[in-house]
Amino acid sequence: MTKEIFYHAVCPVCVRAERDILDLIPENQVELIHLDTDKTKVKDAENADVKSFPALVLSNGNVLHINFGAKIEDVK
């Protein structure tokens, strides 16, 4: 089963969105990536067409940009 991937940049908007997403989707179905501790994944997010954070990359490849915490350029 391909997991959804939730990228965020640990901003207040991001932290609240993570809590809300984990209320919606079973924890074993989503991989959480905090870009402050894992900068190598910024390139993965960019390749997945993520433009801002928080963002949920779905198993079908679509990206749900959720609210707005930071632009991807802010995190590079």
Of the listed pieces 31-39, 41-49, 63-71, which binds a second copy according to CB under 8 A?
63-71
If one counts every other C-beta atom within 10 angstroms of the C-beta of residue 19, the result is: 9
Tell me if 24 contacts a second copy by CB under 8 A.
yes
The residue among 42, 46, 48, 44 whose CA lies nearest residue 75 is 42
Tell me which H or E stretch contains 24: helix 12-24
CB of 6 to a second copy, least distance (A): 11
**Cα–Cα distance for residue pair 16/54, rounded to 1 Å:** 10
Question: In terms of CB distance, is 39 or 71 closer to a second copy?
Answer: 71
Number of residues that bind a second copy (CB under 8 A): 16
Asked if residue 62 binds a second copy (CB under 8 A), the reply is yes
